[in-house]
Amino acid sequence: MTSTTAAFEECLYSQHTPRSARHATWAPGTDFSQITCPLEHENHMRPGPRCTPLYVNLPYLHLPDILWTSYGEILVPERTIDLFQKHGLTGFALKPVTVVSVKGYRGSSFPRAWELVVIGNAGPEILKPGRSYGPPCPGCGLREKHNEINGIHVNPATWDGSDISCTTDYPRIRILSEKAKDVIMGHKLEYCVIYPAEQYPTFGGGYLERLRAKIYARDRNLSR
């Protein structure tokens, strides 16, 4: 079993790059489900999982190696899929994406994109001092978090060994194995950054400046 090493998030750009220019956006036809609570009603009302196929507007005609939507989905072209499959990476499934438009492009031929859905399971994280959760709501299961995220601490005993996974507490934060990190770094994939999961997202100002490169990584064995 390889060791978990890093959190996997969108690239941090220089400040003059508009945030909207580097994300795909949802197009009409894409929507969330709605979670309602019979006990707390409006206090626990919140969006649930996406309940439709993914329709997107792309910011670029050339689809980067990895592109994020404004809601955190991961879009990849076939060359990235081929690379992951060639190296035997595990922990993800693929769903087709419908491209509705490309910013500034008036043609009718759009790039083909797939949604990379993380199915690897890193289990519940290890709670460190200062982090706590309230009991689950008996009506809807919501658990209140009592402080800010201060690193993601993977428990090797509950991690299923997938190369791409997420914890049950933070399903939007992707966790990479050492193998997956090496593949992404070794091939210099565009528009992603890798950093130690234990440091997510506690970055100081100087560290943020260094993260503005396309790829940043530091080897870290979290299973030790």
**Structural domain span for residue 191:** 4-210
Reported as a pLDDT band with limits 50, 70 and 90, residue 11 is very low
In a domain, 14, yes or no: yes
Distance separating alpha carbons of residues 206 and 38, to the nearest angstrom: 46
Residue 35 contacts by C-beta under 8 Å, 6 or more apart in sequence?
A: 44, 45, 46, 47, 48, 140
In a domain, 45, yes or no: yes
**pTM to 2 decimals?**
0.77
Task: Count how many domains the chain has.
Answer: 1
Mean pLDDT of the chain: 76
In a domain, 42, yes or no: yes
In a domain, 222, yes or no: no
Does residue 82 sit in helix, strand or coil?
A: helix
pLDDT higher than threshold 90 for residue 15: no
In a domain, 86, yes or no: yes
Reported as a pLDDT band with limits 50, 70 and 90, residue 210 is very low
Residues 31-42, mean pLDDT to the nearest whole number: 84
Distance separating alpha carbons of residues 179 and 166, to the nearest angstrom: 16
Q: Please give the pLDDT value at position 145.
A: 65
Q: Please give the pLDDT value at position 172.
A: 79
For residue range 106-121, list pLDDT tens digits in order: 888 999 999 999 999 9
In a domain, 216, yes or no: no
Half-sphere exposure for 5 (CA within 13 Å, toward CB) = 23
In a domain, 106, yes or no: yes
Higher per-residue confidence, 143 vs 88: 88
In a domain, 162, yes or no: yes
